[in-house]
């Protein structure tokens, strides 16, 4: 049986150390007259820096989720055992956001817990924040908290600048009127 990976592929500090080492080696190559090697190493330095801000397991989970492969996305997220120490703040937000997205259909109250953490930690994109607030609004409606649900729907509507979830917002507003 292969060994189980319990944290991110590379610790966030290792990624930074690797980037610094690659950069230093690129400078060394430039001083030795190896311009091509130096340019290649500088370009290679970008990879650990990007992976510092965009965790590889979260990216793979997003790809699986986009294909509606919930078990596959869950498998990739399960490889991150301790998000508080292994991920930076925004990555933690997306970690909980993805968990909320996956549990939304089966357990709305568990999804609410995940979405609250994601909103508290912050998400980079307004659209993601709108979807999280919409999920929180659905949970508030299920708990018969009409005022909270109304506020969350209005916040989600403001964040949805490109009207991508306009239909879902309209549907929730209609349901809210029936409460």
Q: What is the DSSP string of 143-160?
A: TT-HHHHHHHHHHHHHH-
Residue with the two structure tokens 């989970």: 61
pLDDT of amino acid 5: 42
In this structure, the answer to whether residues 90 and 18 fall within a common structural domain is no
Q: How far apart are the first and last CA of the chain?
A: 53
At 94, the pLDDT band (50, 70, 90 cuts) reads very high
pLDDT surpasses 90 at 39: yes
Closest CA to 144 of 178, 115, 103: 178
pLDDT of the residue at 6: 44
Which pLDDT does position 56 carry in this prediction?
85
Question: Do residues 5 and 25 share a domain?
Answer: yes
Q: What's the confidence (pLDDT) of residue 10?
A: 59
For the chain, how big is the Rg over CA atoms in Å?
A: 21
Shared domain for 7 and 59, answered yes or no, is no
State residue 35's pLDDT score. Answer: 93
Give me the mean pLDDT over the 32-49 stretch: 92
Is the separation of the CB atoms in 148 and 141 below 8 Å? no
Q: Check whether residue 66 and residue 138 sit in a common domain.
A: yes
Confidence of residue 97 (pLDDT cuts 50, 70, 90): very high
The CA-atom distances, in angstroms, between 12 and each of 15, 21, 51, 58, 117 are 5, 14, 8, 14, 21
Q: Do 2 and 80 sit in the same domain of this protein?
A: no
- Residues 9, 43, single domain; the answer is yes
Backbone angles phi, psi at 141, to 5 degrees: -65, -40
Give the pLDDT score at 115: 94
What is the extent of the structural domain holding 162? 55-178
> How confident is the model at residue 52, as a pLDDT?
79
Residues 89 and 174 in one domain: yes
If asked whether residues 37 and 82 sit together in one domain, one would say no
Domains: count for the chain: 2
């Amino acid at each position: 049986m292969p060994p189980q990976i319990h944290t991110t592929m590379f610790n966030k500090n290792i990624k930074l150390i690797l980037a610094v080492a690659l950069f230093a080696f690129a400078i060394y190559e430039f001083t030795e007259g190896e311009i091509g090697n130096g340019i290649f190493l500088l370009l290679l330095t970008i990879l650990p820096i990007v992976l510092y801000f965009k965790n590889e397991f979260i990216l793979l989970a997003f790809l699986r989720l986009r294909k509606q492969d919930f078990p596959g996305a869950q498998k990739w997220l399960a490889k991150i055992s301790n998000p508080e120490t292994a991920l930076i703040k925004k990555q933690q937000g997306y970690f909980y956001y993805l968990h909320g997205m996956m549990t939304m259909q089966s357990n709305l109250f568990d999804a609410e817990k995940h979405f609250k953490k994601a909103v508290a930690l912050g998400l980079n994109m307004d659209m993601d924040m709108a979807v999280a607030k919409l999920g929180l609004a659905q949970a508030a409606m299920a708990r018969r908290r009409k005022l909270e649900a109304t506020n969350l729907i209005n916040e989600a509507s403001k964040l949805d600048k490109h009207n991508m979830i306009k239909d879902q917002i309209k549907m929730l507003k209609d349901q809210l009127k029936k409460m």
